[in-house]
Amino acid sequence: MKIQENLRETARKLLAGGEASLVIGYAPGSEVSRVVPAFISREEEVNRLVWNPLCINNLAKYLLDYRYEPGKVAVVVKGCDSRAIIRLLQDNQIIREKVIILGIPCSGLINPDLVAARLDPGAQITAATVSKQDFSLQTGEGTFTFTRDEALLEKCRDCEHHTPVIADFMLGEEIPPNDPGDPFIAVKTLEELPVEERSAYWDKQFSRCLRCYACRNVCPACTCRECVFDQAEPCWVAKANNLSENTAFHLIRAFHVAGRCVDCGECDRVCPVNIPLSLLNRKILKDIKDLFNVPTPGTSLEELPPLGTFTNSDPDEFM
Amino acid sequence: MKAYTITRDNLGAWLDALARDYTLIAPVREEETVSLFKPVSGFAEINLGYTNSTVSPKGWLFPQTEEMFFFSTGDGQITLADAQTPGPAVLFGLRPCDIKGILVLDPVFNGAYQDCYYQKRRQNTILVGLSCTRVERHCFCTSMGGGPTDGGGADLLLTEMDGGYGLEALTSRGEELIHRYQDYFIPDRDNRVTAAREELGKKLAGQFTRAVDTTGVKEFLDENFELPYWGELARRCLGCGICTYICPTCHCFDIFDQSPDGESGVRSRCWDSCMFSHFTRMAGGHNPRPTKKERVRNRFLHKLKYHRDRYNLDGCVGCGRCVTRCPVNIDIRQIIADLQEVARHE
Ligand code: SF4
Ligand code: SF4
Ligand code: SF4
Ligand code: SF4
Ligand code: SF4
């Protein structure tokens, strides 16, 4: 709980001193397994802020909503989310001087469905501890323990940066970088299938896409003022929901975020019909790593996105 | 009301027969946590063990994309041709909340203004309900005037019971369907089916994790359009349309033409969502619902007030889908409770 206390204390100071006009963090949701993005602008409210292994949403994208407001906005980020901040900075979507980054070294998140299955929905988490072996959630009704093997989120198994890559305040002890092994196993397995099977696989996935665009709306790489999918004239992708238009949507989006996808896993999480978007985006991430020998986008402020930079050593003869 | 029983084996055989004679739309398990209503070719594809499909079955009566008519121009003439309308269909395995969802859509498409597309599909479709056997974490139909064994609105209601299923014909259309396949059914002489259903209903009533009280919420909203609450709530909304697309009662649509050669093509309509920023944007660029606040407010006013104003029906049936899938936990049950709280302090 040390991190949670630090977080509340830091938020209190920032708001009291007028240094920040808003703190974006996490607060308890409508049931025990859910945590919600919280927007705190008054000192008295900082005790609503929580940090526990259910804090899954990437809050960086909300910075876009406040970029034209006066005052500075403080935002809570985990390691994965912090890459999104760098991305937004590199594209000049947000201005460094206007954000205060509250970094949380994160040792992994818990699958909310397991929590929902085991805890009374009305319970409140009073404290949480994470160890190398398990997660413990304390509630009024006792302590509930989940082993990491059963409960750790898949994206956290592959996590590269437990400690945020950028922060103004680090609210806990840094966790050294992790060697998750090969994060591309699932991509490689799919790559090895014959083309017909791969095609059938994606057809089955894309055909149930609702085109709700949650994957886009949550994505920190999607920041266009006018999105291609919202354009009526010219109509790049028709509103009609069918396999052909849905496929066009997915391929265009995957290419639009290529080299800028920070692998935060949010698109995967939000999809209401469980389309494995991480597989698609990670395929491109893998190709870009192979081709340009670059780290995951958003890892360093100096390293620009490979597809967004020009160098004289570019081997393409056409240039 | 007539009741029948059917054995498990006969249920399978009956569904196979239905799939031969009608377009049969039934719940299918797409993968681990996704079930959808789809046309099926027989019993083997159907999954009756689901509680609540991921997307509501409204899409059969009001498809996400629906062709309205074809057009072509030539010699200065415009020729129109009707799009195909589907023939007789059976929408099978509807949970009570989803049947109620159809009753909520009826006055929109089939009330003062007759929507020929919806009307044709509705007329051609027999609704077979299926009592729930389990209550999911986010179900709250009982708070919205429904119940897990309340099949009102269906033509037939199927309920799992000892040794098979009980089937109650709720309309003459349901009765005719039974009659057509009478060999599969045994008339229920001593009211066992209704008794079993009522008992199941009692058992399930205790399983709801959260109830909400809507008393006074509409009246409060009648008087209070501007509430700081909406602005606070909307801050976290992503403006994705998940909640509206999976909901059994949301029904906004957009109309568009597709014409590859500019001379002939098709006019279709497709689902749209009041949660999208473009939804109310006018041709000149003005947007009367410019921010998330106005959009979130509209959605909940539609559910809790406007639909009641227009049709005297709640716009929400308590299926809980939006609660399950909203990525930022915007929970209509919580909102109803919050509005009660706000009302107390006004
Ligand atoms: S979130 Fe899922 S259903 Fe929605 S548009 Fe993206 S892939 Fe399609
Ligand atoms: S594409 Fe998905 S994983 Fe990549 S940045 Fe966007 S939301 Fe995150
Ligand atoms: S309420 Fe939730 S599901 Fe609906 S648009 Fe907002 S974020 Fe998306
Ligand atoms: S508003 Fe939500 S709970 Fe109500 S009917 Fe729609 S999806 Fe179901
Ligand atoms: S909301 Fe009620 S009717 Fe609908 S699935 Fe849940 S228990 Fe069944």
What tens-digit pLDDT sequence spans chain A (319 residues)? Answer: 699 999 999 999 999 999 999 999 999 999 999 999 999 999 999 999 999 999 999 999 999 999 999 999 999 999 999 999 999 999 999 999 999 999 999 999 999 999 999 999 999 999 999 988 999 999 999 999 999 999 999 999 889 899 999 999 999 999 876 677 888 999 999 999 999 999 999 999 999 999 999 999 999 999 998 899 988 778 889 889 999 999 999 999 999 999 999 999 999 999 999 999 999 999 999 999 999 899 999 999 998 888 888 777 776 665 5
Other CB atoms within 10 A of residue B144 CB: 21
Contacts of A239 in chain B (CB under 8 A): 65, 254, 256, 270
Residue with tokens 């920023």: B277
Inter-chain contact B32–A241, Cβ cutoff 8 Å?
no
List the structure tokens of B343: 């009302």
Q: Which of B137, B138, B242, B249 to mutate to test the pocket of ligand 4 (most atoms within 8 A of CB)?
A: B249
Distance, in Å, from the CA atom of B197 to the CA atom of B166, rounded to the nearest integer, reads 8
| Atom number of ligand 2 nearest to Cα A281 | 1
Of A214, A239, A240, the CB nearest to B327: A214
Inter-chain contact B325–A239, Cβ cutoff 8 Å?
no
Q: Which of A56, A160, A266, A296 to mutate to test the pocket of ligand 2 (most atoms within 8 A of CB)?
A: A266
Contacts of A272 in chain B (CB under 8 A): 54-55, 242, 245-246, 325
Q: Give residue ranges with CB within 6 A of ligand 4.
A: B 246-249, 303, 316-322, 332
Distance A296 CA to ligand 2 centre (A): 12
| Atom number of ligand 4 nearest to Cα B144 | 4
Q: Tell me the Cα Rg of chain B.
A: 22
Contacts of B333 in chain A (CB under 8 A): 30
Distance, in Å, from the CA atom of B218 to the CA atom of B177, rounded to the nearest integer, reads 40
Distance B270 CA to ligand 3 centre (A): 19
Distance A271 CA to ligand 1 centre (A): 5
Q: What residues does CATH 3.40.640 cover in chain B?
A: 2-62+84-206
Q: Torsion over CA of B194, B195, B199 and B200, rounded to 10 degrees? A: -40
- Which string of DSSP letters, residue by residue, matches B87-144? -SEEEEEE-HHHHHHHHHHHHHHHSSSB-HHHHHHHHTEEEEEE--SS--TT--GGGG
| Residue of A282, A210, A283 lying closest to A249 (CA atoms) | A210
Inter-chain contact A39–B246, Cβ cutoff 8 Å?
no
- The closest residue, in CA terms, to atom 6 on ligand 1 is A215
Instruction: State in Å, rounded, how far the first CA of chain B is from the last one.
Output: 48
Residue with tokens 């909102």: B335
- The closest residue, in CA terms, to atom 1 on ligand 4 is B316
- Give the burial class of B7: count Cβ atoms within 10 A of its Cβ; 0-12 exposed, 13-18 middle, 19 or more buried: middle
Q: Is B32 on the interface with A (CB under 8 A)?
A: yes
Query: Three-state DSSP class for B187?
Result: strand
pLDDT, one tens digit per residue, over B12-34 is: 999 999 999 999 999 999 988 89
| Residues 6+ positions from B189 with CB-CB distance below 8 Å | none
> Among all residues of chain A, which has the CA nearest to that of B37?
A208
Distance, in Å, from the CA atom of B23 to the CA atom of B93, rounded to the nearest integer, reads 14
| Atom number of ligand 1 nearest to Cα A210 | 3
- Given a cut of 50, the residues of chain B with pLDDT beneath it are none
Q: Is B30 on the interface with A (CB under 8 A)?
A: yes
Distance A269 CA to ligand 2 centre (A): 10
Q: Please state which of the four CATH numbers 3.30.2450, 3.40.640, 3.40.50, 3.30.160 is assigned to the domain occupying B2-62+84-206.
A: 3.40.640
Q: Give the minimum alpha-carbon distance from B270 to chain A in angstroms, rounded to a whole number.
A: 6
A→B interface, C-beta within 8 Å: 29-31, 34-39, 57, 62, 65, 116, 121-122, 208, 210, 212-214, 216-218, 230, 238-242, 269-270, 272-274
Inter-chain contact B254–A116, Cβ cutoff 8 Å?
no
Query: Three-state DSSP class for A19?
Result: coil
Of A29, A239, A274, the CB nearest to B254: A239
Contacts of B242 in chain A (CB under 8 A): 210, 212, 214, 270, 272
Q: Is B258 on the interface with A (CB under 8 A)?
A: yes
> Among all residues of chain B, which has the CA nearest to that of A66?
B235
pLDDT at A1: 60
- Across the beta sheet with A73-77, the strand order is A35-40, A22-28, A73-77, A99-103, A169-170
The DSSP bridge pattern shows strands B23-31 and B2-7 to be unpaired
Cα distances (Å, whole numbers) of residue B152 to B9, B90, B283:
26, 17, 43
Bridge partners, B130 (sequence order): B158
With beta carbons less than 8 A apart as the criterion, state whether A174 and A105 touch: yes
Q: Which of A202, A204, A208, A209 to mutate to test the pocket of ligand 1 (most atoms within 8 A of CB)?
A: A209
Distance B250 CA to ligand 3 centre (A): 13
Other CB atoms within 10 A of residue B186 CB: 13
Distance B55 CA to ligand 3 centre (A): 15
pLDDT, one tens digit per residue, over B244-299 is: 999 999 999 999 998 888 889 999 999 999 999 989 988 888 999 999 999 999 99
Q: Give residue ranges with CB within 6 A of ligand 3.
A: B 237-243, 275, 326-328, 330
